[in-house]
Structures are given as C-alpha cells and as structure tokens.
C-alpha cells in the first residue's frame, strides 16, 4: 500500500506509539486523522503534522462510528488504519484482603480488545466499498504486546486483552482477504511511552537492563517505522511481529 497521498487513521494517536506512528505516516505523505480519547492531545499532534483530530472513546461504538465518519468526510475513508489506543492498568486477580479486580478486567478488555475490534469492524466495512488500488484496498494494523506471551504478575487483564488481539489477527485477515484488506499486528516490548515514563528512573533502568540488544527501551519511532514497513509490504498479512530487542519479560 502506497503511503503518499493515502488517508490514514491512527487511534491513540495523541501520545506514545500512536503519536509516533501518526508523525511517521504524515512524514511519508499520508493524510492522517489522529483519534484519541484526549481531544487536546489529538489536536496537538494533528496540528504538528497537518492532519485532523477526532475525539472518541474506542470502547464506545457510536463514538467510533461518528469519529470514522468525521475523518472520512475530511480525507476520504482511511485505507491505512493503525490501532494504538489502549490502557495498561495493572492489578492482581485477587489482591489484598481478597479484593477482586473484575471491574479493571472489564474496562481493559473493553478498551484494548473490543475497542480494537470496533475500530477494525467499522474501518473494514468502509474499505470494502472502495475500489482496490492495485492488489489491495487497505491495511489494518493492530497493537498487541509482548505481554501476550509473557505477561507479568498483575498483568492478567492486560495480557488477556492483547492475547485477544493476537488471536483475531489471522481469522480477520482470512475474512477480509477476498476484499483485498490485510490485517497485521505488532507486539511491542518495552518502549519509551507515557506508561513507562511515569516510573522512577531507577526502576526504568532496571527494566531496560532486561533487554538483550539493543540494551535499552524501544524508541516509539522504531514502532512507527515497523508500522510503515508493514503498510508498504503487500505480502505481510495475518501475522504478529514481536518488536522487543529479544526481551522476555520476567515474572515481576
């Protein structure tokens, strides 16, 4: 899929991996819509890259539908869709004094997994109505996590949500194949994101020390580069790429 001149939508585009991806795609000539729960952050990134901002909670289907329609009215239906919106709340399944974390699990699944599914569903429906550009109509890229395979203590909800994203990648790609729509996923490891930046420097350094090579946290631009490479390579479809410097997360 050619990026230059193509309409793109990035969810969670107001910060972190999403913002880096929005900037990378815009730098390659895409017309980018930045979708984020935080409208101010979305507008800030969109203003920097000459894109548009749309505000929505991806866990709210009606809000997603309206946001995608707003983006399409400005740029046309997005042929490049990158789902980065997500939350990383952590809690033990059974915490102190027997406190349960069912509410956190529900919210995490709703935002990370159902939110991704909802955006993908509405985006794919719009793509199916478009004429193909060469072999394909578009590409949908979802964000999983290395925690899908080696989730740490307290990450049961997060790991489950990201594991769901991985599990639906191949069946979604197979379903949309007849329409020329590819579906891929990236499972990032430890990256410089707002979640990591909130940690004490000593703890962040300890976490980074677990990465074999390069022995550092990932740069969001490296995630964005992978996203762009997936968009441009038409034979990448239905699979998940771990982007992690060969790290395997310890139990805690």
Domain boundaries, the chain: 7-243
188 backbone dihedrals φ, ψ, rounded to 5°: -70, 150
Distance between CA 71 and CA 211 in Å, rounded? 38
Q: Does the structure show a pLDDT above 80 at 207?
A: no
* Average of per-residue pLDDT across 213-233: 97
* Average of per-residue pLDDT across 160-176: 98
Which residues neighbour 243 within 8 Å (Cβ) at sequence distance 6 or greater? Answer: 186, 187, 188, 189, 218, 222, 223, 226
Q: Does the structure show a pLDDT above 90 at 7?
A: yes
Sheet order of strands, 80-83 included: 52-55, 31-36, 7-11, 80-83, 138-143, 181-188, 240-243
pLDDT given at position 203: 66
CA of 19: how far to CAs of 46, 75, 125, 165, 252, in Å? 9, 18, 25, 20, 28
Q: Which two tokens stand for residue 84?
A: 């980065």
Which residues neighbour 48 within 8 Å (Cβ) at sequence distance 6 or greater? Answer: 23
Q: Which two tokens stand for residue 95?
A: 């915490």
Banded model confidence at residue 250, pLDDT cuts 50, 70, 90: confident
* Average of per-residue pLDDT across 224-239: 98
Q: Which two tokens stand for residue 234?
A: 């038409």
Distance between CA 87 and CA 83 in Å, rounded? 12
pLDDT given at position 196: 74
Q: Does the structure show a pLDDT above 90 at 251?
A: no
* Average of per-residue pLDDT across 188-195: 88
pLDDT given at position 45: 98
57 and 119 in contact (C-beta within 8 Å)? Answer: no
Q: Does the structure show a pLDDT above 90 at 238?
A: yes
Question: Which of 3.30.565.10, 3.90.1200.10, 3.40.190.10, 3.40.50.720 is the CATH number of 7-243?
Answer: 3.40.50.720
What letter does residue 128 receive in the DSSP assignment?
A: H
226 backbone dihedrals φ, ψ, rounded to 5°: -60, -40
What residues act catalytically? 158
Helix (H) or strand (E) holding 7: strand 7-11
């Amino acid at each position: 899929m050619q990026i230059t001149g193509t309409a793109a939508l990035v969810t969670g585009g107001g910060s972190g991996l999403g913002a880096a991806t929005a900037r990378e795609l815009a730098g390659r000539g895409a017309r980018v819509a930045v979708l984020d729960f935080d409208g101010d952050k979305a507008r800030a990134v969109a203003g920097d890259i000459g894109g548009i901002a749309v505000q929505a909670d991806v866990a709210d289907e009606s809000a997603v539908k309206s946001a995608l329609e707003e983006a399409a009215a400005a740029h046309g239906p997005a042929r490049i869709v990158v789902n980065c919106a997500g939350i990383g709340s952590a809690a033990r399944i059974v915490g102190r004094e027997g406190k349960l974390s069912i509410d956190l699990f529900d919210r995490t699944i709703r935002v990370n997994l159902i939110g991704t599914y909802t955006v993908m569903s509405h985006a794919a429906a719009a793509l199916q109505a478009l004429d193909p550009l060469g072999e394909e109509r578009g590409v949908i890229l979802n964000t999983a996590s290395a925690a899908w395979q080696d989730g740490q203590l307290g990450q049961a909800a997060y790991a489950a949500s990201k594991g769901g994203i991985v599990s639906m990648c191949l069946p979604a790609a197979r379903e949309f194949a007849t329409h020329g729509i590819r579906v891929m996923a990236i499972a990032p490891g430890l990256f410089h994101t707002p979640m990591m930046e909130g940690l004490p420097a000593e703890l962040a350094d300890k976490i980074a020390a677990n990465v074999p090579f390069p022995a550092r946290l990932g740069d969001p631009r490296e995630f964005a580069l992978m996203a762009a490479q997936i968009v441009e390579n038409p034979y990448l479809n239905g699979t998940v790429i771990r982007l992690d410097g060969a790290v395997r997360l310890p139990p805690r």
